[in-house]
Each structure stands twice: as C-alpha cells, then as structure tokens.
Structure 1
Amino acid sequence: MFRRETARSLHAFHHRRMKRQMSAQRPLTRLLSVAKRFRGARSGNVAIIFAFALVPMVLATLGVVQYGLAISLRTKLNAIADAAALQAVSNPAMLTYVNTGATGQANATAMFNTQAAAVKEGKVSSLNVNVTASGATTTSPGALTATVSYTATLTSLLPGLLGSTFTSVSGTSTATATLPTYVNFYLLLDNSPSMGIGATAADITKIGSVNGGCGFECHSPEATQGNYPGYTTGYVSGASNRLDALKTAVQLIIAQAQGEMVSGQYKFAVYTFNNSVTKLSGLTANLNQTSSDVGFANQSGGIQLPTTDQGTQIADAVQWLTQNAVTSGSGNGTQASPFQFVFLVTDGVEDHAFGYQPGSYDTLTSPVGSWYGTPYASVLLWSPVCANLKSKGATVGVIYTTYINVGGLQYTDMVAPFASNIAGALQNCASSSSFFFQASDSTALQNAMQALFNNALQQAAHLSQ
C-alpha cells in the first residue's frame, strides 16, 4: 500500500515538475517569436529610406517639370524667331529694300516682341535682329539675310535649391532670300510673208479654198514667173495665220511677266524682221505699252504681214540685234546689270527673192531652193552671227515655226531641197536644247513661247543662287 502511494506521489511530483518547466519556457518562446517577427519586418526601413529619398525625389520632379517648361518656352520662341526672320526677307521686305534701301529689321523686331509678349512660360531678356544685304557677284544679284537671336528667362520653381538650372533659354534663327532678279527680254520675230500660213491645218484648208489652193494668206494665186502682183488676197475671214498665233503667244508671256514682277524687274523689247529689222517696241518695263505695240490676234495694228514680198534675211537680223539692241553683255541680275535673253521666232528659211537687201551675213548655203531656176533660199547661216550674240553672255532661245508643205512651187522648189536641215541650223543658234522648241500650229506655238519664257526665268533664278 505504501509502495503504491509512494509511486503515485513520485509520478505526480514529476508531472508537476515538467509542467513548471514548460510554463517557464513559454515567455521565452514568445519573446523569440516576436524577435523573429521584428527582425523580419521591413516597414521601419522603408520609412527611413523614404524619409531620406523624399527631398531628392521632390527636387528631381520639380526639375523635370521646370525642364519641360523651359523646352516649351524655347520651342515657342524659336517659332516666333523663325517667323520674324522670314518676314525680314519676304517679298514685300525685299521690294522695300530694292526701292528705298531700308531693310525689314524694325518690322521683324516689332513682330517678335509682340508675339513673345503673349508667351506665358517666361520673359525675353535680350533680342538682336540683324538684316544684311550681300553684294552682287558676276552671277548673282545678291541676297538679304536676316538673323534673329534671343535669350529668355523662366522663373525657377525652387530658386534656393534649383538656382538657375533650366531657367535660361536662347535661340537663333536665320533666313536668306535672293534679291529680285532683273532680266531684259529681246524678242526678234519673223513677220516675213511665210508667217502668213494658216495657224492650223483647218486654217490652211480654209485659206486655200479662196486662194487657189495656197495656204498662205500672203500669196496671190496669180503669182507666176515675171508676174508677181503682190499680196492681193489679204486676210481670209474666219481664218487665223501664224502671225496671229505669234501675237497671242507674246501676249501670254507679257501677262505672265506682269503678274510675277516687282517694279521694273522685267523689261521687253520687240523687233520684227523680213529683209530688215523694225523696232516695234523699245526696251521698257512698261509692259502695258509693249502689249499694245505687239497687238492682238485678228486685229489691225501691232505685228503685221508685209504688203510686198521683201524676202527674209535671218542672219542679218540677228547680227543687227547684236550690234544695235543688245548693246551690253549679260550682267549679274541686278537692276543696274540685268541678265539678257533673246527669243528668236522664225520658220528658218533665208529668202533672198524680190526685196532682198545685200548684207554681211546673207550667204546662201547648199543645198539651196530656187524660184524658176534662180537660187533664192537656204537655211540660216547660224555661224558666226549666233556665236556673236552668245559671246555677249546673252542666252538665246529659238522657236522654229515648222515650215509645212502646203503644195505649190513656193514649197517644192523653194524649201523642199533643204527642209530637213532647217531645224538643225536653228538649234545650233540656240544656247542649249532646253532653249529650242518646234511649233507646227497655234497651240504648239503658244506652249513653246511659255515654255521658253519659263526656262528663262528658271535659269535666271539658278544663276542668282
């Protein structure tokens, strides 16, 4: 009995002892667990790191914002500077400079200041607008160059910290424009009898129906060897000839010149020729007068067909123009020294019949055409007369009004022997292939004249750059 009680007591004692030991271990375990959780927690570190990073992050953000404002300010002011520079060399500004010598500097400055005042991001602290004119050279009439430079300030978002970072911007814009190019145009126009051919195939037929089958308004159907009564037929009602088409072609380029010119930029002189040269309109910038002198298609006045056969002496006409009209060489495109262009419009046939006037450059070249066995016609003797003209620096443009076979001795005997050589001789007279055109009817003639004029303007613009 004692043993059993003792055993029970010992068992209870050990149980209580173990329980006390376990109770003593629980606070330590909890403490260790808390320590582990504290050690694993990072919220405290983030707060410390964020506190240290907050200032540079704010500064960086403000810096980015201020940089963006500075870029915006510079972009807007650059656009204004571009506009001001372009205004200073605009066509009105160049015209003012040409006429008065005053540049567009003041207007460009006022324009920049007015537009810059509306920009909210900052304020212009300095501005320099400079407009200069370069002198003419042997190939250029000079140019206007405008330079616009500025500096502007942008208020700092944090002056004490950012200081002047991104608070100052600057820019420069430059624009250059060639000054107006001045050009003299000399028109040497064939008004010999053969320019009386019908302007179109339909016109040739209409004229021939009342002229014994001949499509030339200038030819009398009674013309025979030893019996040439002159031009008795006259103009055929309802028909146009090449001279009418030539009038229209010249009027077109005069109108174009009037629409594009500054005062006195383009001058025209108009001469006609058959066996001699006639000044129809002297060199002038009064293009209204030139237009009146040329006249209009199917109207009296201006360029007219002759009333008698006076022949056609092209080479002598070109030489006369060189000696008496184009008296100075081609210049640099300035008002005092313009470029020189000569337009020769002809059917290319040298005709020494009837009213022929002996000249220095009237030699007929083989093969020749004949009138009842007498040699009278050949192609243009382009050398040396065309070379003489081009040696002055003038650009020579040629329009060949194609000589059409309309039947009769006027073509078969007088022209056919050398017809295939006409275009080549005239092309040799032109300064280049871009200044040579052929025209077989009124529309082609008008198109050729406009193309020739446009090529001249393009070449003048190219020379002046």
Structure 2
Amino acid sequence: MKVGAKAFHSICKLSQKYVADRSGNFATMTVLLAVPLIAAAGLAIDVTDALVVRSELYSAADAAAVGAIATSSPAVAAAMAMTSDGTVTVGQDDARKLFFGQASADLQAMPINVNIAVTRAANVVSSSVNFSATVPTTLMQILGKTSIPVSGSATAQYQTASFIDFYMLLDNTPSMGVGATADDITMLQTHTSDTCAFACHNLDTTNNYYNLAKSLKINMRIDVVRQATQSLTDTATTNRQTPDQYRMAVYTFGTKAEAAGLTAVSALSSDMTQVKASTSTVDLMTTPSQNYNSDQDTSFDTVLTQIKPIIGTGGGGTTSADRAKVLFFVTDGVGDSAKPNTCTKPTTGGRCQEPLDISFCQPLKNQNIKIAILYTTYLPLPQNAWYNTWIAPFQSQIGTDLQNCASPGLYFEVSPTQGINDAMNALFLKVIRTPRLTG
C-alpha cells in the first residue's frame, strides 16, 4: 500500500473518533479544520505519486520509440524491404512489447492506454508512442477526487538513407611510423642501434629506419590506417542504398615535411572505387633529414583550421542537396609544432608537443559538422628518453582530449592489439545508423 493510503486510513479513523466525542466543541472544530489540511496534504502526496508514474511512463515511451527503430530492429529491416511508404506493423508490435517491458509491476497493474505508430515515409522510419493513464488517489478521495489523469508521448526517427559527406583526415606524420603492433615495435627496436620504435622516413640516406622496416616486413601504423581507409570505401558501398548516398574525400598532413599542411589525396566523390585507388598512395610523411625542423611536423591547429572552409556547413542529410557532413579524424593524438606562446604544455625552444587543443574543434561543430575520431593509441615508449621527458607527462590526457573534441558517441580508441580496420568500420556504421528522439 502507498504511504498516502496509510495516512488516509489513519486520519479517517481519527476523524471518526472525534466526531463520536460529544463532550465539547473542541472535537468538532478539530474535525472541521482537519478537512482543508487533509485536502492540502492529499493534493501534495497524490500529485507527487502521479508525477512519479508519469515520469516512469515517459521513460518507457522513450525506450519503446527508439528501440522499435534501432539499427537491428525488425521494423528497420521491414521498412528497407518495403517498396512504398506506409505502416510498419511489426514495429508497432515490437514497440508495445518494449513499452510494457520497461514498466514496473505496479504500472502493469494499472489501466494504461498506449497508441503506437511506426511508419516509413521516403527514407525516414518514424515511431510515435502516446500513452494515457489514470493514477488512483488516496487522501484526495475525501474531496471526491478518485484519480489523476496523466499522458504524454515520445517520437523517434531513423533515416534509412541519410546523405552524408565524409572527410577522412589521416594523420601520416612521423609518429605514425611506429610499429603497428607490439611485435612490430619490438622487432624494429631490436634491429636499430638506438632501439628506436619509429620508422623515420628521412631522405638524406637510403639507410633509414623506414627502409629498414620495409625490408623486415614490419607493418607501421600508417600502413594499417591506409588499408583500413581503403576497406572503409567497401563498407560505404555495401551499406548505401543509392549511388550518391555517401561521398568521401581523403586528406593527410602532407607528403613531405617541407610542405606540411592539409593535403588532398582524393577529392570528394561518390565513386568509392576511385577513392580507394587514390588512397593507396597514402604513406608516411618524408623529411629531408633526421630532426628536420626540430621534428615540428604535426600541427593539428593548422589542418583543422584549413579543412573547416573546405567542409562547409553541414545539413540535415535528408536529401542529396542537404547533406550531413562528418570529419572522420584518425590520429595518435600528439601534436608537434612551433607554438612558443600558445602551447598547452611546456615547450623546448618554442617546440610544442601537446595533446589536441580542443579549442580548434568547436568552430567545426558550430558549422554543424560532426566529428568522428578514431584514436590509434599513442604507445608508451619507456626506453625512449625523449618520450619520458616530453610525452609521458600528458600520456593519460591524449585520449581524453580527443574524446572531448569528438561529437557525442563518435569516439573510438583502438590499441595495436585490436583491429584498426574493424574499429574504423564500426565507427563509420555508428555514424550512419543512429536513430534519435525527435520529441
């Protein structure tokens, strides 16, 4: 029994006792005064009970509206198979089960009216859940109010064919020459006199660590990123419903350190075969010599600023003329550039080694651009004195800042023991398959 019901029965018994007492007017006055007090208390208790019920029903409605059109739901599968717009009956049945599955035992015993609609219109599957119920009162019954009505609704949409432009920004700076796996790192360290884990691509000698890695068939991080990006074009092709549904452009930080900056590898195109072929040229940035320009070759600030006007303002994605825009950034998250005055970490001679400065992310988001980030974990290198001095102090902050830069839910960290290819595909699918509440 609710607390309000117990209080109601106690007060009623007390009132009956005072009414039966004819010894004086005090009892009569007390009962008369008790009526408005009971009404006020009853209103507070019963309204609170009704609000709790309403809140729980809203939660059940939200879960039903979103769950009925989730990526793997029967409704989405049925909608994609439909040849015309209309009602998705299986979605209505699924939503009803989800609604009552979320409701507590107390609610399930209460009479609840639920109206559910799941429909497909063009490339959008919509769900709406409307509910109404009457919550029994306790103390307010003394005034003849036996119930309080509550109602509400929740809606969600799933776009089966969102039109999206993906701008792939691939970090190909020297730090991406690290071995792709722990075994690759160990092998390179074993075969270098200074136990270096980076396959530096300096062109002043053919006896460089890049060529050594190639001769030993060591996979570098950039190799895996290139292959994963090419694989992503296949994923886009498999999942699109119209030839121009997804378009993709590919950029790097430059082919050589002397001209570091945003560099186009493939122009924006829906021809995934062409994008895949162009991406085959992505490789580690070259440097004229070891320690060229004090290794200041990774300016996140520069490339994020340069790519902003290229991407432009994102749209809703509902038509090919109103396309959503996504910056898909793959990086190890450590910047290295000349920033003597604005670096977020201590510098050496103006050389700034720091995690991503997230202040450069917001201008992109202000243009309705979603940011998806795949963090290829920057590996600790405890045998390296440079790492211990300059990177180790902020190692734990690298992933946190990248996650803060990413749009909600569009951040993924993948270590060398995991598959970058699988992670990139999973993040891509998450972007294109996210239902959302619309009211």
Q: How far apart, CA to CA, are the structure 2 residues paired with 1:219 and 1:389?
A: 32
Alignment of 1:211-250 (within 5 A): 211-212=192-193, 213-218=195-200, 232-235=208-211, 236=213, 237-250=216-229
User: How many residues of Structure 1 are paired with residues of Structure 2 in the alignment?
Assistant: 286
1:376 aligns to 2:357 (yes or no):
no
SS class of match (1:271): strand
1:264 aligns to 2:252 (yes or no):
no
Distance of aligned partners of 1:231 and 1:346 in 2 relative to their CA distance in 1, 3 Å threshold: farther
Distance of aligned partners of 1:231 and 1:427 in 2 relative to their CA distance in 1, 3 Å threshold: farther
Distance of aligned partners of 1:180 and 1:272 in 2 relative to their CA distance in 1, 3 Å threshold: same
1:321 aligns to 2:345 (yes or no):
no
Distance of aligned partners of 1:206 and 1:400 in 2 relative to their CA distance in 1, 3 Å threshold: same
1:412 aligns to 2:398 (yes or no):
no
1:392 aligns to 2:367 (yes or no):
yes
Larger Rg: 1
**Kept in 2: contact 1:267–1:285 (CA 8 A):** yes
Distance of aligned partners of 1:400 and 1:91 in 2 relative to their CA distance in 1, 3 Å threshold: same
**Kept in 1: contact 2:355–2:394 (CA 8 A):** yes
**Kept in 2: contact 1:231–1:307 (CA 8 A):** no
Alignment of 1:36-435 (within 5 A): 93=83, 180-212=161-193, 213-218=195-200, 232-235=208-211, 236=213, 237-262=216-241, 263-273=243-253, 275-295=260-280, 301-308=281-288, 309=295, 311-324=297-310, 326-352=311-337, 356=338, 363-366=342-345, 368=346, 370=348, 375-383=351-359, 385-406=360-381, 407-432=383-408, 434-435=409-410
**Kept in 2: contact 1:381–1:425 (CA 8 A):** yes
Q: How far apart, CA to CA, are the structure 1 residues paired with 2:158 and 2:389?
A: 57
Deviations 1:262-296 (A, max 9, x none): 3111110111116411011111001001111111x
Segments of structure 2 that go 5 or more residues without pairing to the other structure are 1-75, 87-118, 127-156, 255-259, 289-294
Root mean square deviation, CA, Å: 3.6
Distance of aligned partners of 1:268 and 1:177 in 2 relative to their CA distance in 1, 3 Å threshold: closer
Deviations 1:37-81 (A, max 9, x none): xxxxxxxxxxxxxxxxxxxxxxxxxxxxxxxxxxxxxxxxxxxxx
**Kept in 1: contact 2:165–2:247 (CA 8 A):** yes
**Kept in 1: contact 2:164–2:317 (CA 8 A):** no
Letter in 1 for 2:253: F
1:224 corresponding residue in structure 2: none
Deviations 1:276-332 (A, max 9, x none): 11011111001001111111xxxxx333332344510112211211122x1122323
Distance of aligned partners of 1:265 and 1:442 in 2 relative to their CA distance in 1, 3 Å threshold: farther
Once the 2 structures are TM-superposed, how far is the Cα of residue 448 of structure 1 from its aligned partner?
2.1
Deviations 1:221-277 (A, max 9, x none): xxxxxxx98983223121001001101221222111111213111110111116411
Segments of structure 1 that go 5 or more residues without pairing to the other structure are 1-85, 95-102, 105-131, 136-140, 145-175, 221-227, 296-300
Q: How far apart, CA to CA, are the structure 1 residues paired with 2:158 and 2:298?
A: 46
Distance of aligned partners of 1:267 and 1:288 in 2 relative to their CA distance in 1, 3 Å threshold: same
Distance of aligned partners of 1:178 and 1:343 in 2 relative to their CA distance in 1, 3 Å threshold: closer
Q: Compute the TM-score of the two structures, normalised by the length of structure 2.
A: 0.57
Q: How far apart, CA to CA, are the structure 1 residues paired with 2:277 and 2:376?
A: 23
SS class of match (1:199): coil
Letter in 2 for 1:456: V
Residue identity over aligned pairs, in percent, reads: 31
SS class of match (2:393): helix
Once the 2 structures are TM-superposed, how far is the Cα of residue 177 of structure 1 from its aligned partner?
9.6
Once the 2 structures are TM-superposed, how far is the Cα of residue 386 of structure 1 from its aligned partner?
0.7
**Kept in 2: contact 1:369–1:418 (CA 8 A):** no
Once the 2 structures are TM-superposed, how far is the Cα of residue 396 of structure 1 from its aligned partner?
0.8
SS class of match (1:320): helix
**Kept in 1: contact 2:201–2:284 (CA 8 A):** no
Once the 2 structures are TM-superposed, how far is the Cα of residue 447 of structure 1 from its aligned partner?
2.7
